């Protein structure tokens, strides 16, 4: 199966993927599902087509592939025949003809994953497309929350189908241009979390109010919401490379002065409140550099959770894990 956006997964499949990721995180390489998968995938490759830069996503997909004994077919786009004018569709058809177990794709075009799927005989896994979707980032964030945040927050017991019930998350940053935000907005409420969005109008236009989440124009407003301050502050990177408006610097200045997370901001929250960020971080912009080594930061846990989460996604995409069970993914027979 393809993983193009989270909207293609029903609630059972999302929960199954989350549970598989957290199970793999706790059982590391000893999980019997991995042993079965390694036998089935022996001598296969997995293609990595990164038309945009990446550190975390690419490195964790390569590590996940290694755990599954898959050979990484990592195309260097800058030296590929793309530079001779070969079309995106022909590149996808060419790589698919080599019969990889899946094609992992990052691209600046928001529709690239869907276009690739229409030309590929191999499953397509979206590793971040334009400003539209970054489904594996949202999944690894959910797995990080389940594994590292919930045990520290002492929330009331949650409905098993809504594991993030009672959890409040405020997302602050360049939301309009963030594919991570779009995937988080899709996933976290479906797991029971209460979201609020924080940003100046340049980063969070009024149209986002149509989504139905509370909108705050300053981080202080988000923190002083009576009786319901967030448990997690999730910061997003200011994406100058996707600047689409002339007043980008003014929007960034407005964001830094009103919506960035400083150490004093965090100190106003409960002592067990946490911060997250998908990386790479612009330290001193969306997050105070003083928070880099703060124990309330889950950022490196997010990076580490990329491996079991992307392993789970590869297993699902290659048909080696069945997501259509309520309780737990298991090997297909
Ligand atoms: N979060 C994220 O996608 O990081 P990279 O661009 O480094 O992969």
Q: What is the 3-state secondary structure (H, E, C) of 230-278?
A: CCEEEECCCCHHHCCCCCHHHHHHHHHHHCCECHHHHHCCCCCCEEECC
Atom of ligand 1 nearest to the CA of 278: 1
Task: Give the Å distance between the CA of 158 and the centre of ligand 1.
Answer: 31
- Ligand 1 surroundings by CB, under 6 angstroms: 54-57, 128, 137, 278-280
pLDDT class of 243 with cuts at 50, 70, 90: low
Closest CA to 208 of 219, 196, 220: 196
Please state at what angle helix 135-144 crosses helix 11-27, rounded to 10 degrees: 60
pLDDT greater than 90 at residue 227: no
How much is the average pLDDT of 116-126? 98
Question: Which residue's alpha carbon is at the smallest distance from atom 4 of ligand 1?
Answer: 56
Angle in degrees, 0-180, between the axes of helices 32-41 and 11-27, rounded to the nearest 10: 100
Q: What is the pLDDT of residue 228?
A: 86
> pLDDT class for 325, splitting at 50, 70, 90?
confident
Tell me, in angstroms, the distance from the centre of ligand 1 to residue 159's CA.
Answer: 32
Worst-scoring range by mean pLDDT, 55-59, 132-136, 240-244, 272-276? 240-244
Phi and psi torsions of 223, nearest 5°: -80, -25
Supply the mean pLDDT for the chain: 93
Percentage of residues of the chain with pLDDT beyond 90: 86
Q: Across residues 64-72, what is the average pLDDT?
A: 96
| Ligand 1 atom 6, closest CA | 54
User: How many of the other CB atoms lie within 10 Å of CB of 226?
Assistant: 5
pLDDT at 77: 97
Question: Which structure tokens are listed for 87?
Answer: 């079309």
Please give the distance, rounded to the nearest whole angstrom, from the Cα atom of residue 134 to the centre of ligand 1.
9
**Token pair in block for residue 282:** 């612009």
Q: How far is the CA of 128 from the centre of ligand 1 (A)?
A: 8
Mutate to test the pocket of ligand 1, among 105, 131, 279 (most ligand atoms within 8 A of CB): 279
Residue whose C-alpha is closest to residue 324's, from 12, 15, 18: 12
CA–CA distance, 229 with 194 (Å, rounded to integer)? 11
Determine the atom of ligand 1 nearest the C-alpha atom of 58: 8
Q: Which pLDDT does position 245 carry in this prediction?
A: 59
How far does the centroid of ligand 1 lie from the alpha carbon of residue 326, in Å?
30
Tokens matching residue 249: 């610097």
Contact at 8 Å (CB) between 96 and 121? yes
pLDDT at 69 over 50: yes
Pocket test for ligand 1, best of 53, 131, 280 (most atoms within 8 A of CB): 280
Strand 168-172 relative to strand 215-216, pairing: unpaired
303 C-alpha to center of ligand 1: Å? 9
Atom of ligand 1 nearest to the CA of 55: 7
More confident residue, 263 or 95: 95
Which residue has its alpha carbon closest to ligand 1 atom 3? 57
Question: How much distance in Å is there from the Cα of 198 to the middle of ligand 1?
Answer: 22
């Amino acid at each position: 199966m393809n993983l193009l956006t989270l909207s293609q997964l029903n609630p059972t499949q999302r929960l199954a993927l989350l549970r598989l990721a957290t199970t793999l995180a706790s059982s590391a390489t000893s999980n019997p599902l991995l042993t079965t998968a390694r036998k089935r995938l022996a001598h296969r490759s997995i293609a990595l087509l990164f038309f945009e830069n990446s550190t975390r996503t690419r490195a964790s997909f390569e590590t996940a592939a290694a755990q599954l004994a898959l050979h990484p077919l990592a195309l260097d786009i800058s030296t590929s025949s793309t530079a001779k004018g070969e079309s995106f569709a022909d590149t996808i058809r060419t790589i698919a003809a080599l019969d990889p177990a899946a094609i992992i794709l990052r691209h600046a075009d928001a529709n690239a994953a869907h276009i690739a799927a229409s030309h590929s005989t191999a499953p397509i896994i979206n590793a971040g497309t334009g400003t539209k979707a970054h489904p594996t980032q949202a999944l690894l964030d959910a797995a990080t929350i389940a594994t590292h945040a919930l045990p520290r927050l002492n929330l009331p017991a949650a409905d098993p189908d809504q594991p993030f019930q009672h959890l409040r998350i405020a997302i602050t940053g360049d939301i309009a241009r963030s594919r991570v935000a779009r995937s988080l907005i899709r996933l976290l409420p479906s797991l029971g979390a209460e979201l609020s969005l924080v940003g100046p109008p340049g980063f969070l236009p009024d149209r986002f109010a149509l989504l139905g989440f509370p909108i705050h124009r300053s981080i202080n407003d988000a923190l002083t919401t009576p009786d319901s301050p967030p448990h997690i502050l999730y910061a997003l990177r200011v994406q100058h490379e996707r600047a689409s408006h002339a007043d980008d610097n003014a929007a960034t200045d407005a964001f830094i002065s009103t919506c960035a997370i400083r150490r004093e901001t965090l100190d106003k929250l409960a002592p067990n409140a946490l911060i997250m960020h998908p990386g790479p971080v612009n330290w001193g912009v969306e997050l105070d550099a003083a928070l880099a080594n703060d124990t309330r930061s889950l950022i490196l846990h997010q990076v580490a959770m990329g491996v079991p989460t992307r392993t789970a996604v590869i297993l699902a995409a290659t048909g080696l894990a069945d997501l259509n069970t309520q309780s737990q993914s298991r090997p297909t027979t």
